Structure 1
């Protein structure tokens, strides 16, 4: 886990990252380890970015709600294209399952070290406590973003 200040766009917002190895459940053994960076920043306090370093030129980034990922540490959480849940088996390394689903119906399920992710999530709540996210949002900038046509 690393912390730093995000200094892009002249901001000095706290940023926390967790570098983790995920197990890609449906991949052959030689390709089953996928490196992932979990990234949380106070500039986007409601979201966690999962940057998956798959065998491709560019990483795949998945943006999920921090509250959805956090709830997944305790039980099944998520609806739609992202789901998270803890393993039920009692093992030396408890697992957190992450299921990512594309609109075409193709899905990928990964397993992460639940303790490691849980500890990192707790740290993000030290940076921005639950319920304080709204105070970190730049409401003026959000109000200027055009909405897509209905």
Structure 2
């Protein structure tokens, strides 16, 4: 049976050392895709941007710099609070987001209960994924 963990949260998009904007986001983890976290970012006009990245990247980024690809994550402090910096990069540009560390930890805890780190392969169905890819093409 598949389990889904969803977290609604508020991030800050960092524009400069003095300026930031609020960004509403949703994180989703589904045991049917045990390696991935889907992040949807909403702007005021209801336009969304979706990123998919490894749960292990987000978990590692809580404690130390992680990521060498198009998403990098690292812990820091902002206004005296623990935050996690998330820096996605695409052809359109790059951005820097601050997420509350305690909210990310609360989101990741039930994902770890559902699929302990290192056991993802036991929950991953290669046949289903290949079938899905072939029907999309």
Q: CA RMSD in A?
A: 2.2
- What is aligned with 2:118? 131
Counterpart of 1:18 (choices 7, 12, 17) is 7
Task: Give the TM-score normalised by the residue count of structure 2.
Answer: 0.86
Q: Quote the Cα distance in structure 2 between the aligned partners of 1:57 and 1:118.
A: 27
Q: For CA contacts below 8 A with separation 6 or more, give which structure has more relative contact order.
A: 2
Counterpart of 1:81 (choices 67, 70, 74) is 70
Counterpart of 2:104 (choices 113, 117, 123) is 117
Task: Give the TM-score normalised by the residue count of structure 1.
Answer: 0.79
SS of 1:125 mapped into structure 2: helix
Task: Give aligned pairs, total.
Answer: 132
Gaps of 5+ in 1: 1-11
Q: Which has the higher strand share?
A: 2
Gaps of 5+ in 2: none
- What is aligned with 2:40? 51
SS of 2:95 mapped into structure 1: strand
Offset at residue 39 of structure 1 (A): 0.6
Q: Quote the Cα distance in structure 2 between the aligned partners of 1:54 and 1:76.
A: 27
Offset at residue 103 of structure 1 (A): 2.8
SS of 1:117 mapped into structure 2: helix
Offset at residue 137 of structure 1 (A): 1.2
Q: Quote the Cα distance in structure 2 between the aligned partners of 1:102 and 1:143.
A: 26
Offset at residue 90 of structure 1 (A): 8.4
- What is aligned with 2:23? 34
SS of 1:122 mapped into structure 2: helix
| 1:81–1:103 CA contact under 8 A, matched in 2 | no
SS of 2:96 mapped into structure 1: strand
- What is aligned with 1:9? none
Offset at residue 51 of structure 1 (A): 0.5
